[in-house]
Structure 1
Amino acid sequence: MTETAPTPRKVWQEMVRGNTRFVSGEPQHPRQDVERRHELATGQKPRAALFGCSDSRLAAEIIFDKGLGDLFVVRNAGQVITDSVVGSLEYAVAVLGVPLIVVLSHDACGAVAAAIDSTTPEAAALPPNIWRQIAPIVPAVRHVIQSGDGGQIDAETVGRAHLRNTVTDLLHASELISDAVAEGRVAIVGANYRLAEGTTVPEIIVGDVEDAA
């Protein structure tokens, strides 16, 4: 019998349950044994793709209590959309058949802090490659500045704005992914990870995962 393809909603529910186990200190560490390793030697069929920040505290399989072969993970500093990120996520959707993309940001993000610092008059010039990495976060900083009262820039507000921009940029950059979302085959969840609590809080949802909580 052919296995029914998992829906975006079902996969997000699995992610939420795994994160709940992690937060409560009762992870199951599933699918991390020798048998699983041997099973995956001939191919992979991940349940979801995750695009997140490279921060060492954002270990996706640990946060969501997943195992080998469960997540197709793409990461860079500040979860910034690039051609390689889009191509990798398109591969996850078109070739691996994942029904869910999770875009994961987090509080106290160094890339967000660097983007905020870069907008101050006294900001020192950054090395070119670092500047190119954080430059896509600057529009979120400017949006928060324009929406604020002239006081101190709130890094968490910038992070959430950048997360929403990242999901929007992904959809604009990939017709393949946006078509899959429009057809209901794929959903995207933009979530923020709370470092101290260990919780992942959805900030933006595109597609049908609404009953996941």
Structure 2
Amino acid sequence: MTPRATPQEAWDELRRGNARFVAGEPLYPRQDVERRHELAHAQTPLATLFGCSDSRLAAELIFDTGLGDLFVVRNAGQVISDSVVGSLEYAVAVLQVPLIVVLGHDSCGAVRAAIDSTQFESPELPAHIWRLIAPIVPAVRRVQREAGLPDAAGVDAERVGREHLHDTIAELLHSSELVSAAVEDGRLGIVGANYRLAEGTAIPHFTVGVAVDA
């Protein structure tokens, strides 16, 4: 694995690792004692992954990577915040990663909570949970509007998840001049993907910057 890979090379490496994971043939690379010692004083990750905190989205397992390969940032529903943007900027500016993967998934609890919270007479959520999922609500409303539904109860959760994935990438680019500039300069690619829990497949839906083969 080349530490200073191009965005395309980084995505291809992750795709190969995901294919091994799906096939049940993981290599569990770079997880030995020598690798641990090698990383003791510095890191040069291949990519950054910003994903949901769901316990089923263990990034290093999904992409069959090892120690020091992924710089991982996670919160429930992969929602953009100041701390997330700061962490991603650190990865781009200091660690010089060539790729950011934003990873959502089906059956997301945060997406479900956002849908449920917008239904008529929905119970009030604890304040911190509401603030976390509030950025997902615009995606719920859009899907509800486009489907012509009077209430959010019948909206397609997977469609909401894809809309939110798109919103997350758009908000990242809007919030961070550093990330946007790296994309414009061709130093950084962004892939928005959805992880299928049953199949184990990370399916790309959106790409930004350098053309990343999906």
What TM-score, normalized by structure 2, do the two folds share? 0.96
Cα displacement string for residues 67-88 of structure 1 (whole angstroms, at most 9, x for unaligned residues): 0000000000000000000000
C-alpha distance after superposition, 1:12-51 (max 9, x if no partner): 0000000000000000000001110010001101000000
- Structure 2: how far apart are the matches of 1:33 and 1:4? 18
- Equivalent position of 2:172 in the other structure: 170
| Aligned mates of 2:5, 2:118 — CA distance in 1 | 44
Matched residues in 1 for 2:212 and 2:79: separation? 25
Offset at residue 149 of structure 1 (A): 3.2
The number of residue pairs the alignment matches comes to 210
Asked whether the equivalents of residues 61 and 67 of structure 1 are also in contact (C-alpha less than 8 Å), the reply is yes
Measure, in 2, the Cα distance between the counterparts of 1:36 and 1:119: 48
Kindly indicate whether the alpha-carbon contact (under 8 Å) linking 1:193 and 1:199 is maintained by their aligned counterparts in 2: yes
Q: Report whether the alignment pairs 1:197 with 2:191.
A: no
Structure 1 partner of 2:99: 100
Corresponding residue number in structure 2 for 1:46: 45
Give the drift of 1:6: 1.0
Q: Structure 2: state its 5+ residue gaps.
A: none
Partner of 1:13: 12
- Supply the AA of the counterpart residue of 2:28: H
1:210 is paired with a residue whose SS is coil
* Stretch moving more, 151-160 or 112-121: 151-160
Once residues 5 and 117 of structure 1 are traced to their aligned partners in structure 2, the CA distance between those partners, rounded to angstroms, is 43
2-structure distance, mates of 1:136, 1:12: 27
Alpha-carbon deviations, 1:109-152, whole Å to 9, x = none?
Answer: 00000000010112000000000000000000000011103271
Q: 1:1-213, aligned counterparts within 5 Å?
A: 5-150=4-149, 152-211=154-213, 213=214
1:155 maps to a residue whose letter is: A
CA drift at 1:171: 0.3
Q: Do the aligned residues in 2 keep the contact of 1:53 with 1:78 (CA within 8 Å)?
A: yes
Q: Which runs of 4+ in 1 moved over 3 A?
A: none
| Counterpart Cα distance in 2 of 1:31 and 1:210 | 25
CA contact (8 A) 1:12 1:209 kept: no
Q: Give 1:177's aligned amino acid.
A: V
Aligned equivalents of 1:97, 1:209: Cα separation in 2? 18
Structure 2: distance between partners of 1:78 and 1:209 = 26
* Aligned partner of residue 191 in structure 2, secondary structure: strand
Q: Distance in 2 between matches of 1:199 and 1:185?
A: 26
* Matched-pair contact (CA < 8 Å) for 1:191–1:203: yes
User: Displacement of 1:207 after TM fit?
Assistant: 1.9
Secondary structure of the residue aligned to 2:29 is coil
Aligned residue for 1:69, secondary structure, equals coil
Change (3 A) 1:4 1:79: closer
Q: What amino acid is aligned across from residue 87 of structure 1 in structure 2?
A: G
Structure 1 length normalisation: TM-score?
A: 0.96
